[in-house]
Amino acid sequence: MSTDLQGRVALVTGAGRGIGRAVSLALARSGARVVLAARTAGQIDAVASEIARLGGEALAVPADVSHEPDVSALFGRVRERFQGRLDVLVNNAGVGIYGPLDTFAAGDFDRVLAVNLRGTFLCCREAMNLMEPRKAGWIVNVSSVVGFKGYPNQAAYTASKHGIMGLTKSLAVEAQPYGIRVSAVLPGGVDTELASAARPDLDRAALLQPEDIAQAVLYLLSLSDRAAVDQIYIRRRTSAPF
């Protein structure tokens, strides 16, 4: 897919591995200047080095998106480095903790929602403050198939992804007068560490690859100003449609 993002600024959370890494590399190959955010500095430094080898520009900023001061500092770096310009935000950071609800620890429930849902909210809020004055921008929230269906032993993760869908739908309406588009990408099983922990029963050879999700993000960014997409559900060809 050919998407010209030359000179644009994109921020990707959870950028150190899996889907976030694939999206970051795809954005860089399309010409975007990419801000890489994740808790583990070594991982995003490695992705930044990959982008540099491609001839691209990347800024690695360690941040825990569930921690409001970290998010404020992250977007502060965007303001400093790119004069407040932000064209694309991809909210991908997420954690999964699994187990039956009747024995699930409240602290684990809080942690999943703090990273997956609160982190998405915090980053969306900061991105809106940068995008609104320019009357342009695109926010892509990475949800999941569990954003509209449920699996056993995934109550906390499922609740967080349902929450992301509600946040996305509401923000899309709020952002529209400012020319900002907000979409959700809902992958089925993707070959990542998180998916392996959630569904060890799945044949990894049959799973989607992180690059498949990156292609969906680039598709959204390739659309004309006339078009907006609310959500994209990407499933494995071997899985049921719903």
Cα–Cα distance for residue pair 162/146, rounded to 1 Å:
7
| The pair of three-digit structure tokens given for residue 195, joined into one six-digit string | 């998916």
Percent helix, strand, coil in the chain (nearest 5)? 50, 15, 35
Query: What are the angstrom distances between the C-alpha of 26 and each of 87, 95, 106?
Result: 15, 22, 37
Residue 56, Cα to own-chain centre: how many angstroms? 20
Catalytic residue among 157, 178, 219, 233: 157
Query: What are the angstrom distances between the C-alpha of 114 and each of 65, 108, 163, 208, 229?
Result: 8, 10, 11, 26, 27
DSSP label of 177: G
Beta strands in 188-242 (DSSP E): 231-234
157 a catalytic residue: yes
Active site residues: 157
